[in-house]
Structure formats: C-alpha cells, structure tokens
Amino acid sequence: MKILVTGGAGFIGGNYVHLMVKEHPEDTIVVLDSLTYAGNLETLEPVMDAPNFRFVKGDIRDRDFVSALFEKEHFDIVINFAAESHVDRSIENPQIFLETNIIGVSVLMDACRKYGIKRYHQVSTDEVYGELPSDRPDLLFHEDTPIHTSSPYSTSKASADLLVLAYHRTYGLPVTISRCSNNYGPYQFPEKLIPLVISRALADESIPVYGEGKNVRDWLHVYDHCHAIDLIVRNGKDGEVYNIGGHNERNNLEVVKTILKALGRSEDLIHYVKDRPGHDLRYAMDPEKIETELGWKPEYHFESGIKDTIDWYLNHKEWWQHIVNGEYQSYYERMYKDRK
C-alpha cells in the first residue's frame, strides 16, 4: 500500500513513521509536511534513507499542490497528522489554526474524493469533548459524548471532525477518526508540558505551572497512540470514531514533580504562573470501543514510560537544544512574560 502521512515531521507523525517504516516494509510511506516551527527534518533522520520512505515538502492548504501530488502518487491511505497543535499558540493567534486544521483538512478530503482512496484517517484529540469535573472520577469521555470545545485549537479540531464525518455521509468517503489523550515520548516539541519541564529542569531554570497545577490530563505514550492508529487504519470501520487513552490520569503538579525527582532537581524550581485562559480542568478517555472491537491495549505504564522519555531527552540533547537555542527563545519570552 502507498500511505500518505501528512505532518510526519512533527512529534506524533514522526514517531508513527519510524514505527511503520520498520513494521510494514511492504508499504511505501510518503510524508507531506510544510515544516512549520513544529516540523523538523532531524526527526525523520532515522528513516530518511529507508527504501520504503520519501519526504515531500508542501502545505496541506495548497489545493493545486495537493491535487497534483495525489494525481501523481495514487495513494491508498491518507493519515492526517498535520495541524497547528499547541493550545497556547491558538489563544495568541487563532487564524492559522482555522486555516490549517479546517481548510487544510477540506483540501485533503477533496483530493481523496477526486482521485479515490481506500481510507482517509483524521488524527483528532480528546479536547473536542471539553472538560470533565475533577471530583467525578467515574465520568469519562465516550465516542458519543457531545462536542463542547474551549480553545480555538480544540474548536478547529472539532470542526475538522465534523467535516470529515460530513464527507463520509454526503459523498461516501471512507473515513475514520481517532481521538487521543495527551501524548508523551521522544521528539516532542519543548513547548509542551513534559519536554518543557525536562529541558528547563536540566538547565536549572524555573518551571512554569499554570494556576495551581491541579488540571488533570490522561497521559499516553506516543508509541501506544501510533499502534492504535495503525489498527484503526487497517481494521477500523468506515465512518467510525475511536477514542484512545490508557486510563492514566495525573494532575500537572504530579507530572512536574515526577520529572524533577527523576532528574534529581529541587521542587523549588516550580513557579506558579497565571492560568491559561479557558483552561480545561480534566480530560479522561474511555478506550473500551477500540479495545473490544480492534483488540488494542496500551503497552506502556506511565512510571516506566516517563523514565524512558527522560532518558531519551538526556541522550538526544542535540535534537532539542537546536530548538531551544533557536527561535523558540523568543516564543518563550513572548508567551510567559505576562504570566509572572
């Protein structure tokens, strides 16, 4: 099969490509990525010379470019990881989120309709369901939980999900959607909580914790997410949504303290800062559907997964230091200066 992976130079797409190039040598993987601030060719270095891999630089918003690529390549499967993915950036500048996360998706699906594919898979998020209360551990997000978004980011992702389902119903496009909880693991851009804490703690810099650090996220290792997507793409049912999560709820303070302890750093580095506007209190997924229908089970436990991840950042300092020493510096100044 020939598989188009959009956004494959980012965190999850990059990990997906690493795993699939090895596990499915019979498939050809073509990555399409515009290399925004979050896209990094160094992430793709381990697969760049693989015979079943190719990289194409391009923008999913560019209708003519995408159409020409589909006409030439005849893809069997399209998996869309490409997105603007950071909530804080969406609060600062929503426009690009609407353009990439909604218009970009419509461009891809129109090309799928025109040239024909076996499956279009949309990588979505638990954030489309909004937030859960923190005093009701019995409440989880199910696939039929109503969409109820908070940030421009989650609203753009929810809009894309609705569009994908509309293309299935109206045009019969064979689609699937996965909605996953927070990922952690190798190659995550250090604007996100876990790599931000690791990189700043290693430099003995203050760790910004929003509000009181009580917000809860449901953490899943990125490899578990990637294997879930692979199962859905191969065995999932057209028109269906699948929730992905590992029942791994932690509040932010617990996560930060775990990392500081593992790195032998003092909790005095923790610095409480102004909260994120519209900050969702708690996310928690019910993955029962993908477990029972497709036989998926997460392999990583948070305790060992976070240790492996910390080791990865210790052993790949060059990868993230290129980022934190570059344009990211001015992002950090801009984003955190009013939060003190």
Does residue 59 belong to the site contacting ligand NAD (CB under 6 A)?
yes
Partner whose footprint covers residue 13, from ligand NAD, ligand DAU, none (CB < 5 to 8 Å by kind): ligand NAD
**Minimum CB–partner distance for residue 107 and ligand DAU (Å):** 20
Within the chain, residue ranges assigned H as helices are 11-23, 63-73, 87-92, 95-98, 104-115, 152-171, 193-202, 222-235, 252-262, 288-294, 302-315, 317-324, 328-336
* Residue 209 contacts residue 271 (beta carbons within 8 Å): yes
Tell me, residue by residue from 311 to 330, as one string, x for binding to ligand DAU by CB under 6 A and - for no binding: --------------------
User: Which of ligand NAD, ligand DAU, none has residue 158 at its interface (CB below 5 to 8 Å by kind)?
Assistant: none
Do the Cβ atoms of 184 and 14 come closer than 8 Å?
A: no
CA angle 32, 310, 33 (to 5 degrees): 5
User: Is position 141 an interface residue for ligand NAD (rule: CB under 6 A)?
Assistant: no
Handedness of CA 304, 143, 117, 69 (dihedral sign): negative
210 touches, from ligand NAD, ligand DAU, none (C-beta below 5 to 8 Å by class): ligand DAU
Q: Which residue has the tokens 């500048």?
A: 93
Cα 143 from Cα 240, distance rounded (Å): 9
* Residue 283 falls in the annotated catalytic set: no
Q: What is the CA radius of gyration of the chain?
A: 19
- Measured from the CB of residue 33, what is the shortest distance to ligand NAD in angstroms? 4
Among residues 33, 59, 84, 126, the one annotated as catalytic is: 126
Q: Which is nearer to ligand NAD, 218 or 272 (CB)?
A: 218
Between residue 195 and residue 254, which ones bind ligand DAU under the rule CB under 6 A?
196, 208-210, 215, 217, 252
Residue 79 sits in the site that holds ligand NAD (CB under 6 A): no
Which of 33, 59, 84, 127 does the annotation list as catalytic?
Answer: 127
The HSE-up count of residue 7 (CA atoms within 13 Å, CB side) is 25
Spatial separation of the C-alpha atoms in residues 38 and 283, rounded to whole Å: 24
Provide the b/e sequence for 52-73 (b: ≥16 CB within 10 Å).
Answer: bbebeeebbbeeebbeebbeeb
Query: Contact with ligand NAD (CB under 6 A): which of 17, 21, 30, 38?
Result: 38
Q: Which of 5, 12, 78, 177 binds ligand NAD (CB under 6 A)?
A: 12
Partner from ligand DAU, ligand NAD, none binding residue 193, C-beta < 5-8 Å depending on class: ligand DAU
For residue 115, CA distances in Å to 3, 68, 72, 75 come to 14, 10, 10, 9
Instruction: List active site positions.
Output: 126-127, 153
Binding site for ligand NAD (CB under 6 A): 6-7, 9-13, 33-36, 38-39, 59-61, 81-85, 100, 104, 123, 125, 157, 180, 182-183, 189
Binding site for ligand DAU (CB under 6 A): 85-87, 125-127, 181-182, 192-193, 196, 208-210, 215, 217, 252, 276, 283
